[in-house]
Amino acid sequence: LKRDSRFKEVTADDVKFFKDLLGSDSAVIDGVTQDASEDLEAFNADWMRKYRGQTKIALKPESTEQVSKIMKYCNDNLLAVNPQGGNTGLVGGSVPVFDEIVINLSRMNKIHTFDDVSGVLVADAGVILQQADDHVGAKSHIFPLDLGAKGSCQIGGNVATNAGGLRLLRYGSMHGNVLGIEAVLPDGTILDDLSMLRKNNTGYDLKQLFIGGEGTIGIITKISILCPQRSQAVNVAYFGLESYEKVQQAFREAKKQLGEILSAFELMDRQSQALYKRASGAKLPLEAEHPFYCLIETSGSNTDHDSEKLNNFLEHVMGEEIVTDGVVAQDETQIHSLWACREGISEAGQHFGGVYKYDLSIPLPQLYDLVNETRERFQNNGLMGDTDDFPVLDVIGYGHMGDSNLHLNVATRRYDKQVEKALEPWVYEWVSKRNGSISAEHGLGLAKKEYIGYSRSETMIKVMKQVKGLFDPVSERCLIVAENW
């Protein structure tokens, strides 16, 4: 990668402009006119410690007007910027590639309104997901998205990545739940589309371009989102199965028998659970090992009715020998520990050094074939083994079975180009041949932008570039994320 020389480097004058605008020192982390190397590390390095930028300045605006003035100044002066939320993204989009200015939304963290009749929440983009969920939870509602990074990721980042998460099966994607956004365009224009309406068929639905747009056409500053009623009865079951064929049968049965109360159906293979156990030291819920595990959650309004349904389902699938063994959580603590076995995998993947992550949409019947084939590939190429001589520790498969979304993680002892070469573009070709998507829910970021052609046609990519040009005419390349898609 080569830095685009058209983008200017930040000078002392620029720093002065930002300090005058943002006021307090902690709003401008400055490595240009003073040494701020330590503070800047948090803005430059991503969650996986895989992508690292070299920004010398990070800005933490407090208001939409400040974001607007920053963007206008950067646009006029050809300074590249990179929006940043909670920095939990998994595709290298949340950190700079070169010396782009980081615009971090963490100080824009106010919740504006929540109406418990309509369920509409209006909040700043920098509100942490967990805080948003706690806020609406106090009024018996639920934020329509939940994911393992909820303690750090921001709702603006969730919208920018169109994050999927653990309950998409039930509540649908951000494209359906977000009612409005306020965003700042590359030239500083404030686009006020902070609608609270469920229905509004008056022309193009522009906010949809920002949802999943990964900050390439503007910075989201506020969102309005529809939050459903929180279910009074939540039940979780975790069970073991002997084959992927049986996993599919169990999913079919769960839809048939649990219908409207099914809120999650997650898949974990034996290797993913073993790695989670090894990394966290936690005890797994079932004594014996099984080739596959599933986690089912139901959410409904009647405890007795829901428990009966779930127990009947389990009795049925065990009677039919679809499921080998299973447990149902008896209280809140057990619900948390069952969910931890699923949510903790992502972190376990990188616990022993590094990880190569692939987030893929694959037609269900073939979804697990890729994990088997990847494992075989590493068994045959001499890169995977039990000692430190081998870079690859294990290949694990898990994910949102209910959404046909596989997470393939290759857990390594260290990042190694040979491992990457064995995986890319092979994984993308494999997925493309089966008409899947090379990014189901994490986005393109820097990691996958080169590979977009495996999931989108030339015509679509051309139109995307035209859209980008419309919002950001200054450069065909992205001013917002200097290394754009």
Residues that bind ligand 2HG (CB under 6 A): 90, 148, 346, 349, 357, 359, 407, 409
Q: Beta strands 262-269 and 392-400: pairing type? A: antiparallel
Report how far residue 89's alpha carbon sits from residue 91's, in angstroms, rounded to the nearest whole number.
Answer: 6
From the CB of 352, what's the least distance to ligand 2HG, in Å?
A: 14
Size of the chain in residues: 485
From the CB of 402, what's the least distance to ligand 2HG, in Å?
A: 12
148 part of the interface to ligand FAD, by CB under 6 A: yes
Report how far residue 245's alpha carbon sits from residue 359's, in angstroms, rounded to the nearest whole number.
Answer: 21
Structure tokens at 169: 């099966």
Report how far residue 84's alpha carbon sits from residue 70's, in angstroms, rounded to the nearest whole number.
Answer: 14
144 part of the interface to ligand FAD, by CB under 6 A: no
Of 29, 105, 322, 329, the one binding ligand FAD by CB under 6 A: 105
70 part of the interface to ligand FAD, by CB under 6 A: no
Contact between residue 40 and residue 56 where contact means Cβ atoms under 8 Å apart: yes
Q: Positive or negative, the Cα torsion across 351, 357, 363, 368?
A: negative
Q: Positive or negative, the Cα torsion across 331, 276, 357, 269?
A: negative
Residue nearest to ligand FAD (CB): 157
Of 101, 102, 160, 234, the one binding ligand FAD by CB under 6 A: 160
User: Which of ligand 2HG, ligand FAD, none does 157 bind, CB closer than 5 to 8 A by kind?
Assistant: ligand FAD
85 part of the interface to ligand FAD, by CB under 6 A: yes
- Give CA torsion, residues 241, 283, 255, 362, to 10 deg: -70
User: Which of ligand 2HG, ligand FAD, none does 94 bind, CB closer than 5 to 8 A by kind?
Assistant: ligand FAD
442 part of the interface to ligand FAD, by CB under 6 A: yes
Report how far residue 398's alpha carbon sits from residue 357's, in angstroms, rounded to the nearest whole number.
Answer: 11
Of 125, 142, 174, 262, the one binding ligand FAD by CB under 6 A: 125
Written as one string, the DSSP assignment of 162-183 is: T---TTHHHH--HHHHEEEEEE
Q: Positive or negative, the Cα torsion across 453, 459, 462, 467?
A: negative
225 part of the interface to ligand FAD, by CB under 6 A: no
- Give CA torsion, residues 387, 392, 393, 397, to 10 deg: -160
Q: Whose Cβ is closer to ligand FAD: residue 90's or residue 322's?
A: 90
From the CB of 191, what's the least distance to ligand FAD, in Å?
A: 12
163 part of the interface to ligand FAD, by CB under 6 A: yes
147 part of the interface to ligand FAD, by CB under 6 A: yes
User: Which of ligand FAD, ligand 2HG, none does 83 bind, CB closer than 5 to 8 A by kind?
Assistant: ligand FAD
From the CB of 432, what's the least distance to ligand FAD, in Å?
A: 21
Spatial neighbors of 205 by CB under 8 A, at least 6 apart, are none
Spatial neighbors of 296 by CB under 8 A, at least 6 apart, are 236, 237, 238, 239, 254, 258, 262, 264, 265, 266, 310
8-16, 149-157, 376-384, 455-463 -> range binding ligand FAD (CB under 6 A): 149-157
47 part of the interface to ligand FAD, by CB under 6 A: yes
User: Which of ligand 2HG, ligand FAD, none does 57 bind, CB closer than 5 to 8 A by kind?
Assistant: none
DSSP state of 216: S
Q: Whose Cβ is closer to ligand 2HG: residue 93's or residue 148's?
A: 148
Note the residues at the interface with ligand FAD (CB under 6 A): 47, 82-90, 93-94, 105, 125, 147-149, 153-154, 156-158, 160-161, 163-166, 214-215, 219-220, 346-347, 441-442, 445, 481
